[in-house]
Chain A
Amino acid sequence: MNTSGVLLRTTAVAVGLLFLSPLLYGIWISLQTANGFFSGNGEMTLQNYVDAVEKMNFLRYLFNSLIVSGGVTILSLATSIMAAYAFSRFEFRGRDLIFGLVVATLMIPGHITLIPNYLNFAKVGLLDTYAGLILPAVANGFATFFLRQYFRGIPRSLDEAAWMDGANAWKVLYRVIIPMSKPAIYAMGLFIFLGEWNSYVWPLIATDSPDMLTLQIGLARLYKMDAQEGLVNWPLVMAAATLTMLPVLLGFALVERHLVRGISMGAIK
């Protein structure tokens, strides 16, 4: 390896460590006792993790988060795949106008729709339910736009070959378009899942009962709940935060190979 290679690697490792440092520091804190943390005597324990799970109703929040993030991911992928298919493959009156409107939704900050959404969901009685948490995120303008662009890159003649082979519109979609777009769909799915997993404001205002909280809200409550004599129990909060992160890392590990293939697919052809 030449000097510039060494330099490159050293820089990469340094930047990587810089990015990781808050995370590693958090994990480090989570392994100390509260006393140890505040007095700095370095007393170590795993009890924070046990406490986090027990005090915080962690498993229930985890379940809620999985249902909500999973539900949003699957449903919004389903709607945006179908919308993207229609926008990329069919000619119908007003198509470009409607697509323009879909793209226009990207310009509206989510917070503007918070109040109307809240009022509407209150009216139909969906607050504090899974449906109330999931439905607002199911129509995803960005995913529709992104997938439409990707679908447009798939040669039309493949659709046509499938038509000639006897496929109808649905079969063209799920036997040709979707399998060929796997990398894009996985990437989009991961993106949506992460966004939903970390979402805070809507779950905060749309839930109420302790059993409906998602992990992020639960985490925030823990933060307030466990203040001892005015001090936040940081090791406990960090243990809970680390646990909150784990499912996402696991999920990423599962789909990672699809993403990497997606990135290199364009390159070799």
Chain B
Amino acid sequence: MISIALENVSKSYQADTPVVKNVDLDIEPGEFVVIVGPSGCGKSTMMRMIAGLERISSGTLRIGGKVANDIPPQHRDIAMVFQNYALYPHLTVAENIGFSLEMRGVSKTERLRRVEVVAHLLQLSDYLHKKPKDLSGGQRQRVAMGRAIARDAKTYLMDEPLSNLDAELRSSMRAEIKHLHRQLKATMIYVTHDQVEALTLADRIAVMNKGVLLQFDTPEKIYDDPASLFVAGFIGSPPMNFIEANCKEGIVQTTKEGTRIPITCPPELEGEDVVVGLRPENGVLSAGDKRMAIEFRGEVMLIETTGSNRNIHAKTATGPLLIVAPRSAAIGLGDNVSIGYNTEDAFLFEKKTGKRIHLS
């Protein structure tokens, strides 16, 4: 277990086009941190800088408090699972898993023992003598994982390790990784573009977009208290509804009929465009008038069954609105409905900057 800290770290591959911008990230020893963000936002670059595979253009990286910018990767005591696995094709599964031990001069008998333990843990015991090309995607993924955990590193980095797996295997591997983290008691940094993975795995989530770290907090805080429009839209499934509105006379207003959003605007936003965010799972659907504080009227356009729930897509005067409703709700296609929200469930953002405005 060791702490990792990035202080004002930036990275440019070409001059003047930074792909990671002034990131500050303080990771506690033993913490499980998930870096999440859309494809191309700089997640892999961040991870590669921590690993030492990419030079840091400016800023400071500290590992265990010590400046680590110039420490070569093999001396950082970091193990990594690569996005494309990067298994050694000429070595068997056992040799792949034991490679890091061999590099450290661990004796052959001890190596074999450790390989067997890891293989057992990852259910690879039957494949130890196969070459990577003879394995399925899921098995390769586990070998990649096994190669990283065969030695006791202080930090483990995982770059989208589950992205190539099917949904079923993904969820079982997710549980496996969480379990591994508890066993290894090591600092873990995990990269994904999948917000569900982030929410289920992380002690803390770092949300990135376009090279900027937008928010770094626990999954609950990120979900309940997103710092910006982007975070609010990115975290949560199905995604948050956004309604464009305007601050007029201290109140959020839309010009559309059948819509009521009685939220007070702070005086400095008078006349500004704002965005109201409403989570689909907080909406209350009724055929008649429920008289909730926030209300939309609309027509049901599409119903998706997700098993326990249904996703109701409604057309309202302010645009499409998605609500998660219990299966029992007696709603049919084409019904005219009223969709209600409590004011406490509404998020307000400044449209220009995407900044969250806290409602008092």
Contacts and interface: CB of A to CB of B under 8 A. Distances in A.
Given A157-B82, A171-B103, A164 B88 contact: no
A160 B74 contact: no
B74 A168 contact: yes
Contact of B99 (A155, A162, A168): A162
B90 A179 contact: yes
Chain B interface helix/strand/loop/mixed: loop
A180 B90 contact: yes
Contact of A161 (B72, B88, B151): B88
B88 A176 contact: yes
A126 interface: no
Contacts of A166: 74, 100, 103-104, 151
B177 interface: no
A29 B39 CA distance: 73
**Residue of B53, B82, B103, B104 with highest tally of chain A CB at under 10 A:** B103
Interface in A145-162: 155, 157-158, 160-162
B222 interface: no
Question: How many B residues touch the partner, as a band?
Answer: 20 to 34
Interface string B20-40: 000000000000000000000
Contacts of B84: 155, 157
Nearest to B73: A163
Contact of B86 (A160, A168, A179): A160
Interface in A125-178: 155, 157-158, 160-168, 171, 175-176
A162 B100 CA distance: 8
A180 B82 CA distance: 19
Contacts of A171: 103
Given A160-B53, A161-B82, 20 more contacts: A157-B84, A160-B73, A160-B82, A160-B86, A161-B80, A161-B86, A161-B87, A163-B53, A163-B73, A163-B74, A164-B78, A164-B79, A164-B80, A164-B100, A165-B99, A165-B100, A166-B100, A167-B103, A168-B74, A180-B89
Interface of A: 155, 157-158, 160-168, 171, 175-176, 179-180
Interface of B: 51-53, 72-74, 78-80, 82, 84, 86-90, 99-100, 103-104, 147, 151
25 contacts: A155-B86, A157-B86, A158-B88, A160-B53, A161-B82, A161-B87, A161-B147, A162-B99, A162-B103, A163-B53, A163-B73, A163-B74, A164-B51, A164-B78, A164-B80, A165-B79, A165-B99, A165-B100, A165-B103, A166-B100, A166-B151, A167-B74, A167-B103, A171-B103, A180-B90
